């Protein structure tokens, strides 16, 4: 399997990076994790076939993780997609998707499609299967608006990919990431405490408990991007691929 960082930036485009969007593929796997506002052009820039994506997992409803969906869905209509698509995420996702589609493209939520679209709510502490893919949800902590907030543990084709999403430290991250083949973790700042976000220093204090086989840092502010030559961990960049 392969994980590609379509976009790994924060909400403010720090370092000129695209909003959060990861593409996980394998013999029986083709999914996106998050779909921030800039995701469609980023996907096309990398030559990723959007109509082949079968599942999109959304962590929360902030624009840099969610607002790319209207563009992706309209593009699928214009490109005459016929294969089913599943979008799954926190409680309220169906209503939120309708709202953002109507805000950006009036009447787009009611336009008939040639493909089947399923929008599914996921529940923290439960595991949901999508074909051969197993997805376990963990509640994370990212403020009072734009939630509920979810982190993901994805098991597919014998590998485990975990993603903290945007969050301050919470002990659920230990179970989310424990012994994962790949842990994608927010490192918004180096050591500065920012409410609702994770610093590298805080993450490092818990790595012995999480024990990921591989760690890649994402969603970095300018504070982190200016220190990449001083850290001992792999930092994501747009277009970067990880083979699992």
Confidence class for position 58, pLDDT limits 50, 70, 90? very high
Q: What's the confidence (pLDDT) of residue 156?
A: 98
Q: What's the confidence (pLDDT) of residue 153?
A: 98
- For residues 236 and 104, what is the distance between their CA atoms, to the nearest angstrom? 30
Q: Which contiguous run of DSSP H or E holds residue 93? A: helix 93-104
Residues 7 and 18 sit within 8 Å (Cβ to Cβ): yes
DSSP state of 116: -
pLDDT single digits (tens) 185-209: 999 999 999 999 999 999 999 999 9
Active-site annotation holds for 166: no
Read off φ and ψ for residue 78, nearest 5 degrees.
Answer: -70, -30
pLDDT single digits (tens) 117-136: 999 999 999 999 999 999 99
Domain 2-234, what architecture? 4-Layer Sandwich (3.60)
Read off φ and ψ for residue 66, nearest 5 degrees.
Answer: -135, -30
Out of 64, 75, 132, 223, the active site residue is 64
Q: What's the confidence (pLDDT) of residue 76?
A: 97
- For residues 238 and 233, what is the distance between their CA atoms, to the nearest angstrom? 16
Q: What's the whole-number mean pLDDT along residues 179-190?
A: 98
Domain ranges of the chain: 2-234
Q: What's the confidence (pLDDT) of residue 48?
A: 98
């Amino acid at each position: 399997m392969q994980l590609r960082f379509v976009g790994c930036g924060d909400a403010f485009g720090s370092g000129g990076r695209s909003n959060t969007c990861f593409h996980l593929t394998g013999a029986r796997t083709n999914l996106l994790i998050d779909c921030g506002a800039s995701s469609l052009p980023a996907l096309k820039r990398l030559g990723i076939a959007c109509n082949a994506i079968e599942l999109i997992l959304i962590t929360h409803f902030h624009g840099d993780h969610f607002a790319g969906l209207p563009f992706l869905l309209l593009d699928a209509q214009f490109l005459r997609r016929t294969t089913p698509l599943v979008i799954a995420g926190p409680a309220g996702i169906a209503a939120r998707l309708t709202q953002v589609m109507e805000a950006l493209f009036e009447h787009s939520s009611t336009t008939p499609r040639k493909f089947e679209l399923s929008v599914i709510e996921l529940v923290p502490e439960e595991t949901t299967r999508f074909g051969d893919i197993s997805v376990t949800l963990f509640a994370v902590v990212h403020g009072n608006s734009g939630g509920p907030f979810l982190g993901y543990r994805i098991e597919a084709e014998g590998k485990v990919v975990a993603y903290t999403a945007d969050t301050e430290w919470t002990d659920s991250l230990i179970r989310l990431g424990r012994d994962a083949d790949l842990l994608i973790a927010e490192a918004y700042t180096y050591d500065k405490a920012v409410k609702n976000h994770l610093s590298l220093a805080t993450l490092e204090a818990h790595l012995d408990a999480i024990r990921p086989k591989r760690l890649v840092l994402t969603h970095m502010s300018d504070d982190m991007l200016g220190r990449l030559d001083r850290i001992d961990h792999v930092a994501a960049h747009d277009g970067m691929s990880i083979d699992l």
